[in-house]
Chain A
Amino acid sequence: MSAVPETVVRYDRDEAAPERPQPAPLAPGARLLPALAAVYRAQLSRARVARMPLLFVATFQSVGIMVMMRGVVDAGDGEAARSVVAGSSVLVVAFVALNLLAQYFGVLRASGGLDHYATLPVPPAAVVLGAAAAYASFTVPGTVVTAATGSLLFGLSLSHLWVLVAVIPLAGAALAGLGAALGLLAPRQELATLFGQLGMSAALLLGVLPASNLPEPVRWLRDLLPSSYGVDAFARTFDSHPDWAVVLVDLGVCAAVGVVSLTLATWAYRRAASR
């Protein structure tokens, strides 16, 4: 049994008063990485039970949008075709990591499910990062299928699709962080769902349409949405000789938003778990 403490118990001055019995040793807490791995594994297993149909919906939605857009956008290596394919692919990430994760944390918070984690000696970051990483992982098959289907549908080059290896985790981190923060900060479960849906709608409308066709104020809005940088990074790699430096900058924005939003989500979790 591991109830034997690994750390030395610190006694406060008033607790060490001679007439009082010594405080019992505290069991060790869970460390960040093993706890994160345990949460990740548990969340991943939920996909088999609860998430599978929704992952199909996410993929069908994106493929459907591309088929629809194929009616108005010519195949070939144009800005519009790239936007549609890149936007639809990142939309899968937005659907799952932003929308579904916001709903999950909203439900968990409203139903008292956070108590389970709050009464375990687990670092808050492990719960948030584990769940966010799992939801980002759920998006991998759908995003790859969407990107490949779209490239074939619009006659785009498949040679740089490997960039999804960076786009999915980084856009995933940014959007999952936002989703988790929305779900944990929303005062009511319905609002968490609403914000998640709105975030996904924004990713759809602002990601799929080519940026140069959008009016100026809408373009500002697009610049505020972290998923746009994932879309742009991916869209640029359809060039035969992409400007990798710009791609890196776009991905860097995703990473930075990811760090900020996941930190915010961790803070929100701590706040929600200890009322």
Chain B
Amino acid sequence: MCTVRDLVKTYSEGRGGTSLVRANDGIDLEVRRGEIFGILGPNGAGKSTLVRQLTGLLRPDAGSVEVLGHDLVRHPERASRLIGYLGQQSTALDDLTVALAAETTGRLRGLRARDARAERDQILAELGLEDLAGRPLRTLSGGQRRLACVAATLVGERPVLVLDEPTTGMDPVARRAVWSAVDRRRAERGATVLLVTHNVIEAESVLDRVAVIDRGRVIACDTPAGLKSLVDQEVRVDLVWRDEPPRQVPEIAAMEEQAVCSGRHWTLRLPPDRARAVVAAVTGGPAFAALDDFTLTTPSLEDVYLRLGGRGEGLVRQ
């Protein structure tokens, strides 16, 4: 359905474009029809560069992009007639009211005036935006503005949706509205959704499959459950110390060598029996006195990401 082969995109950076940065370094993807497919990675991993090539905004240096049988490297102008794209910026819509932003976008997707108005009304209702319909986007909160941009993206149906971090800044109600709207398009109309995210919880709950991207490469691609089975022999222990960790306790000193330490916050990924020993060690004696908080969790996609060699910065859990 959507096939990406060996995609390479290099930017020049620095003064006079002296140093070259490989934003995409040979990316392969195969997205199936009707799938909600995620692209997960921290900021700067090359996710947006990838989707900008899928939507015809950037021309790849090498590689192929085929969507629904169309070669989008040779015919980038076809992308807008196949794909509904939600980018990260809303500057073009900021001064418009929510209703006019949705209606105008529909008109520019080739809808007739009457159809654009009908779809606008239907989608504003679907996303619970009716009360904000007359407000300019500029005056809305970040999450509301994002929701209005999602509405504009959905007016004028397309078989493929490419959404670049659609729920940034949204409250849980708005997130749910977006996910049910996306799911409805998939279930009722067979739409395929490509979703860029750096939110691991979102990735686990809404995606059918996910490609994990780091430094411009796909380092893993599977269902969220499949990826998590890579680390299901481990649990994650997070420790927060009140002040200085009690290094005089031998168990704690040994722990520090295995932990990912970020100030007072330590993270350990361990087999369950070792995790039990750690919990026992920190919940007794001088260690417990120095402990502010601890949590024991099953692994998330973030742990998968780290296990696969990702840098582990810039992913969010909320």
Interface residues of A (CB under 8 A from B): 1-3, 12, 15, 20-24, 26-31, 34-35, 37-39, 41-42, 45-46, 49-50, 107-108, 111-122, 126, 273-275
Contact = CB atoms under 8 A, between A and B. Distances in A.
A26 B82 contact: yes
B222 to A, nearest CB: 25
A108 B91 contact: yes
B69 A24 contact: yes
B157 A35 contact: no
Contacts, number: 137
B87 A120 contact: no
Contacts of A45: 95-97, 100
A1 B95 contact: no
Contacts of B56: 118-119, 274
A24 B82 contact: yes
Contact of A27 (B59, B76, B92, B110): B110
B110 A28 contact: yes
A42 B80 contact: no
22 contacts: A1-B157, A3-B159, A12-B71, A21-B69, A28-B81, A30-B108, A30-B109, A38-B104, A39-B108, A41-B100, A42-B96, A45-B95, A45-B97, A49-B138, A107-B91, A115-B87, A116-B89, A116-B105, A118-B80, A119-B57, A119-B85, A120-B80
Contacts of A120: 80, 105, 108-109
Interface in B25-80: 52, 55-59, 68-71, 76-80
B113 interface: yes
Interface string B2-36: 00000000000000000000000000000000000
B107 interface: yes
A42 B156 contact: no
Nearest to A109: B91
A41 B104 contact: yes
Nearest to A21: B69
